[in-house]
Amino acid sequence: MIKDKRILITGGRGFIGSALAKRLAPNNDVVCFDISTGNDILDKRRVASAVIGSQIVIHTAARVGVGEVLADTIATLQVNYTGTANVLQSALDNTTQLKRVLCFSTSEIFGVGADKVAEHGTPIFPDATDPRWCYALSKLAAEHLALGYYKQYGLPITIVRPFNVFGEGRTGNHALLHFIKNALNGEDLVVYGDGSQVRAWCHIDDFCDAIIGMLDTDKAIGKAFNIGNPVNVITVKDLAEGVIQLCQSSSKVVFKPLPFTDIDIRIPDITLARSVLAFSPKVGLEEGLRRTIEWVKNNV
């Protein structure tokens, strides 16, 4: 159990950052650093000031979402790579009390096909000139930088790669949230492509369990973990139809051409997380969807 620690969470007002803050705050001194509070991950001085005195740094801050990425690839690369560099250097300058720096990467580093992919899976990007992949590339480069700080300076680094995390509290431009809101409003659910894309969905409660497990054991230092739920596997089309059914909605699924390169399949192999963290996701897809739908009804 993580207790009596000063924990800095960058991107602390995001979906995952805020969920972690809620889990960790009752027994720790949690500080959230987020651009929406006037703090910029590209401002070295502010990052350094926030890191001082922290025993744990959880770096979730990033520019995310395909639309946001395509709209500004330069900002994506700067925030995701240079922002991480600022956090790592600030952490290195304040190593007296530091116990862990947990850096968030992405499942997208594995490219278009990640079928039960393990941590050592080979990143493959179909077109190096396609700006769709600058997010994944920025995260992959940041991984190498973080692990470089571990190998060269002994910084206690752990890498996490989330695989489609969902649940209560998710807002913003997110496909599942759009499905639920449209179904509740009796509007069409838009699926891009033919809907055969496969995803494995991990509920936020299970995901936070994995993160806390990483912080709770030194065996996680120097490792990268794929975190998701390989049981909750479904196509995008079937997910949309399932949401309509659970919402008892009259909505229809409509198909539109893909406006960008998509990922065909994304399912993690979590063998490493099971063995090192005793990670065992518990929330099934239907239960997680029901809980998420109820939250959307009451809060969005």
Q: Which residues are catalytic?
A: 135
Residue 127, class by beta-carbon neighbours within 10 Å (0-12 exposed, 13-18 middle, 19+ buried)?
exposed
> Among residues 23, 27, 20, 21, which one has the least CA distance to residue 5?
27
Interstrand relation of 100-104 and 56-59 (parallel, antiparallel or unpaired): parallel
> Among residues 229, 205, 162, 293, which one has the least CA distance to residue 19?
205
β-pair partners for 58: 9, 102
CA distances from 212 to 104, 139, 204, 207, 218 (A): 14, 22, 12, 9, 12
In this structure, what DSSP letter does residue 11 have? T
> Among residues 221, 34, 209, 64, which one has the least CA distance to residue 136?
64
Q: What tokens were used for 171?
A: 């807002």
Are 125 and 111 in contact by the 8 Å Cβ rule? The answer is yes
